[in-house]
């Protein structure tokens, strides 16, 4: 991978913090303009031409402040395409543009396994999570989880001696929940704390799906230990399946509502996990993760100019139900490049939503 200049690193952080520029739009903008600096230069006219107002590109001072806040606490900023960026996460479509880390980021380059589950976990569930994490660590895996109460905390504790990564919804300095403060400090010293959010940011509800996507993206597989049907743990399991990772579930009593999530995953085809032997057996025939490109994860460049008629044609075909970009291109009788460019402009104008996996919706 070609090292990024300091100017491009700064521009990428600024672009990633721009209004409505999530991982999908970020990748599309780099694809279209070739660099974050050129994308930032083009954005004001692009947005103004589509009639959108109140569009916020952060001032350079705000980006400098974020970098200074990271430096004050000893955090490291890792941008996509840099050598320190975890290889497994780079294979996600699209990868998060950046990561802030505290501790040892090389842990993310090793074979990782995620363990997630109920915050209000039973004593038995916590014992299973801690024991499984310890076994995975002794077998050479790094354990990834979300530093939540219950199963997450138990998994981190089981892997402290062998390597664990905690992915946060807020900034890497946002200890949440506060009663895990001691565990947070131990992971920062002996493992790695990771977040996509700015340093100093407090976790909001909207941040946890992004956190869950990183947990699954870093990992070869995800083990769910106790989770109710409507829970973040099952969202993580779904994201793992979408990313081509294996999903494991620890079965439980049908009388315990915390077992409904894992039991439902088993009905849907998850791998039964009663111990590390089940994981190692699955890994013996594990699918190879999609290799990240050596230089860019993005498709060939998009056209520079998209007229209003083409935008209207693509927008008319969108609905609240996500549709694949290639299917939309066929329906609109456009090339993939034209469709991608139109979707990007519609998204930036607030008229469409870009989703991971090449999907879009109104």
Map residue 193 onto helix, strand or coil: strand
pLDDT tens digits for 149-159? 999 999 999 99
Task: Provide the H-helix boundaries in the chain.
Answer: 6-16, 23-33, 36-49, 60-72, 87-90, 123-138, 151-158, 181-190, 207-218, 232-242, 260-267, 276-283, 308-316, 325-332, 336-348
What is the pLDDT, as a whole number, of residue 237?
A: 93
Q: Residue 169: pLDDT above 60?
A: yes
Q: Residue 251: pLDDT above 60?
A: yes
Q: Residue 55: pLDDT above 80?
A: no
Of the listed ranges 156-160, 202-206, 311-315, the one predicted with least confidence: 311-315
Residue 45 to residues 41, 61, 63, 223, Cα–Cα distance (Å): 8, 22, 22, 47
Q: What is the mean pLDDT of residues 63-92?
A: 95
What is the pLDDT, as a whole number, of residue 202?
A: 93
What is the pLDDT, as a whole number, of residue 347?
A: 84
Query: Is residue 279 a contact partner of residue 273, using CB atoms and an 8 Å limit?
Result: yes
Confidence of residue 88 (pLDDT cuts 50, 70, 90): very high
Q: Residue 299: pLDDT above 50?
A: no
* Residue matched to tokens 């990868």: 95
What is the pLDDT, as a whole number, of residue 47?
A: 75
What is the pLDDT, as a whole number, of residue 96?
A: 95
| 283 half-sphere exposure, CB direction, 13 A CA radius | 17
Nearest to 344 by CA among 12, 9, 22, 13: 22
Beta carbons within 8 Å of 327's beta carbon, 6+ residues apart? none
Q: Report the distance separating Cα 51 and Cα 270, nearest Å.
A: 47
Residue 142 to residues 19, 133, 281, 299, Cα–Cα distance (Å): 34, 9, 18, 32
Question: Virtual CA dihedral for 69, 72, 74, 78, nearest 10 degrees?
Answer: 30
What is the pLDDT, as a whole number, of residue 222?
A: 96
What is the pLDDT, as a whole number, of residue 324?
A: 85
Confidence of residue 279 (pLDDT cuts 50, 70, 90): very high
Answer with the residue of higher pLDDT: 23 or 299.
23
Domains of the chain: 102-283 (3.40.50.450), 308-361 (1.10.10.10)
What is the pLDDT, as a whole number, of residue 292?
A: 40
Q: Report the distance separating Cα 102 and Cα 100, nearest Å.
A: 7
Q: What is the mean pLDDT of residues 316-343?
A: 86
Q: Residue 295: pLDDT above 90?
A: no
What is the pLDDT, as a whole number, of residue 206?
A: 87
């Amino acid at each position: 991978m070609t090292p990024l200049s300091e100017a491009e690193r700064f521009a990428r952080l600024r672009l990633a913090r721009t209004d409505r520029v999530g991982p999908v739009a970020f990748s599309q903008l780099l694809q279209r303009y070739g660099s974050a600096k050129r994308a930032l230069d083009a954005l004001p006219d692009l947005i103004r031409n589509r009639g959108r107002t109140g569009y916020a590109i952060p001032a350079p001072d705000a980006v400098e402040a974020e970098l200074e806040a990271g430096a004050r606490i000893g955090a490291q900023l890792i941008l996509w395409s840099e050598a320190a960026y975890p290889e497994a996460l780079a294979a996600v479509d699209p990868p998060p543009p950046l990561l802030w880390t505290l501790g040892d980021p090389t842990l993310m380059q090793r074979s990782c396994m995620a363990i997630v589950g109920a915050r209000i976990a039973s004593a038995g569930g916590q014992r299973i999570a801690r024991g499984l994490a310890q076994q995975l660590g002794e077998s050479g895996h790094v354990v990834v989880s979300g530093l939540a109460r219950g199963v997450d905390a138990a998994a981190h504790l089981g892997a402290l001696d062998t390597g664990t990564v905690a992915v946060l919804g807020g900034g890497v300095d946002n200890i949440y929940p506060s009663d895990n403060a001691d565990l947070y400090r131990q992971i920062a010293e002996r493992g790695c704390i990771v977040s996509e959010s700015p340093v100093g940011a407090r976790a909001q509800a909207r941040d946890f799906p992004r956190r869950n996507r990183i947990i699954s993206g870093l990992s070869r597989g995800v083990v769910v230990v106790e989770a109710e049907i409507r829970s973040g743990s099952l969202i993580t399991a779904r994201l793992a399946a979408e990313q081509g990772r294996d999903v494991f579930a620890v079965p439980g009593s049908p009388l315990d509502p915390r077992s409904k999530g894992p039991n439902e995953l088993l009905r849907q085809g998850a791998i039964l996990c009663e111990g590390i032997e089940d994981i190692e057996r699955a890994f013996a025939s594990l699918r190879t993760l999609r290799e990240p490109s050596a230089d860019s994860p993005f498709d060939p460049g998009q056209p520079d100019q998209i007229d209003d008629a083409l935008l209207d044609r693509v927008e008319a075909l969108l609905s609240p139900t996500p549709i694949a970009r290639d299917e939309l291109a066929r329906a609109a009788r456009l090339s993939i490049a034209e469709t991608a460019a139109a979707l990007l402009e519609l998204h930036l104008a607030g008229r469409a939503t870009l989703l991971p996996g090449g999907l879009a919706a109104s």
